[in-house]
Structure 1
Amino acid sequence: MSNPAYFEFLCRMGDNTLVLGHRVSEWCGHAPALEEDIALANTALDLIGQTQMWLGLAAEVEAAGRSADDLAMLRDAWDFRNALLVEQPNGDFGQTMMRQFLFDAWHLPMLEALQHSGETRVAEIAAKSVKEAAYHAERSGDTVIRLGDGTSESHRRMQAALDLLWPYVGEFFVADEVDTAMAEAGIAPDPASLRAAFDRRVTDVMAQATLVIPDSDFAHKGGKSGFRHSEHLGHMLTQMQWLQRAYPGASW
């Protein structure tokens, strides 16, 4: 197991929560109800807190003098290693919650497995994050059910959201050389081993939501390699990194 592979894995975990956390935070002050506004803000804070731990450890492993803040705020879009699902635009409230649920359905079993990582620091971060992820999965699943099995309009929107986002889930379960190195080192599970738990949760929730899961998904090539520029991610980073880039090294 090489340090570059370990660093890459940690960036993937941290970038997923960072990008999704920022996306969710965009609802602050704009959600359809006060309760949802607060809940989404809390979800975003949870995800950013997890980011601090993952990218903080990544910076230590890299040992190049960078901090978690540097990794978050000073990398360009092509250097991010997040799954493509998490950077998709919010769309309407239903699309946001469908994106959240599909992520949560993967994130929870991933963290549960990482609690048994051979790397103590990874296991500790997973143990701190898994309770938050369990709550996120329960809440997003319940919301998908309520909207899917709600009015004809909410049902239509949730089915459209599922159809739009489903193609992105395959990326979570396809291994590359980094995933193989992490599995062989006992640091992280084989991505394919998480698919059964994901499918069980998704199948149960979609059945209760009266939504039809598309026939198949596919893994978007290049998502894990990072050697792609996403227009969605680029626009998001322009907003997220503006202050640091406008005033380099600024501190409070």
Structure 2
Amino acid sequence: MNNNLYNYILGIADNSLILGQRLGELCGHGPSLETDIACTNISLDFFGQVRSYFQYAAQVAGDDRNEDTIAMMRTEREYVNVLLVEQPNTDFAYTIARQFLFDVYHYAFLIELQNSNDETLAAIAKKSLKEVSYHLRFSTDWIKRLGDGTEESHERIQAAINDLWTYTDELFHQTDADKAMIAEGVGVDTLELKEGYYKRVAEVLEEATLQVPDLNYFQKGGKQGIHTEHLGYLLAELQYMQRAYPNMTW
């Protein structure tokens, strides 16, 4: 098994898995019917991408692992998603701020992943880009609507951006697997995305009459399997059926 490639795939896919689960929690709880359905559809997009990644990861592993066991039978420390995507749906402003801060990165990342030497990863990136471009439009539009809306909506989205900003820098941290795949022309050099990311985020925030947080300390650890308390509760729900009924098939 190519351990670096396997771990690299998990590093991409776990972000979509956990954020997809977070958005799935909103089904039936959105602020309006249209927005509720939109968030649920974005969740389904993420899970569709995750299936492609994990099917490939199982192929790379070459053992009895499959997409379901990889997704739902690991321990908390074995998930390598960034801390940003596991943050809870505190309110609609937090949901949108979290989505926007990830979408700007995710879109730029997939643009580059299309050029991967790994044909499977490149194909998944190309297929996912149409969906993620919609995700980015959706979250960007809502940032502007909330930021330049009422006094309360402005305050709430600014508070959400302020609180979640501390998790943005981890998007660009590179693991050993990341570095190995970059060297082979398979992975994306995320450090090259960083400047453009913060520039684009700042442009949208300015248009939304919001302030870029003045913060020099950033949280990290998710890519090494060190998570916030929120992930454990999320996994308890995500993994329930597989844990309660091992080897269950539909």
TM-score by length of 2: 0.97
Query: Which residue of 243, 246, 250 maps to 1:245?
Result: 243
**Offset of 1:218 from its aligned partner?**
4.3
Query: Structure 2, unaligned stretches of length 5 or more?
Result: none
Q: Please give the alpha-carbon distance, in whole angstroms, between the structure 1 residues aligned to 2:45 and 2:199.
A: 25
**Offset of 1:203 from its aligned partner?**
1.3
SS at 1:188 equivalent: coil
**Offset of 1:200 from its aligned partner?**
2.7
What letter is aligned with 2:241? L
Rate the CA distance shift 1:7–1:69 in 2: closer, same or farther, 3 A. Answer: same
What letter is aligned with 2:244? A
Q: Please give the alpha-carbon distance, in whole angstroms, between the structure 2 residues aligned to 1:144 and 1:68.
A: 34
Kindly report which structure 2 residues correspond to 1:61-140, keeping only aligned pairs within 5 A, or say none. Answer: 61-140=60-139
Kindly report which structure 2 residues correspond to 1:190-201, keeping only aligned pairs within 5 A, or say none. Answer: 190-201=189-200
Q: Give the match for residue 230 of structure 2.
A: 232
Q: Please give the alpha-carbon distance, in whole angstroms, between the structure 2 residues aligned to 1:140 and 1:47.
A: 15
1:170, 1:217 within 8 Å by CA — same for their partners in 2?
no
Q: Give the match for residue 141 of structure 2.
A: 142
Superposed CA offset, 1:92-122 (max 9, x none): 0011000000000100010000000001001
2:205, 2:212 within 8 Å by CA — same for their partners in 1?
yes
Moved more, 15-24 or 193-202: 193-202
Runs of 4+ in 1 over 4 A off after TM superposition: none
**Offset of 1:219 from its aligned partner?**
4.4
Q: Please give the alpha-carbon distance, in whole angstroms, between the structure 2 residues aligned to 1:99 and 1:40.
A: 12
2:54, 2:70 within 8 Å by CA — same for their partners in 1?
yes
**Offset of 1:214 from its aligned partner?**
1.1
Superposed CA offset, 1:25-48 (max 9, x none): 111000010000110010000000
**Offset of 1:222 from its aligned partner?**
2.3
TM-score by length of 1: 0.96
**Offset of 1:205 from its aligned partner?**
0.9
Query: Structure 1, unaligned stretches of length 5 or more?
Result: none
Q: Percent identity of the aligned residues? A: 45
Rate the CA distance shift 1:165–1:198 in 2: closer, same or farther, 3 A. Answer: same
1:153 aligns with 2:152: yes
Q: Give the match for residue 50 of structure 1.
A: 49
Q: Please give the alpha-carbon distance, in whole angstroms, between the structure 2 residues aligned to 1:237 and 1:64.
A: 24
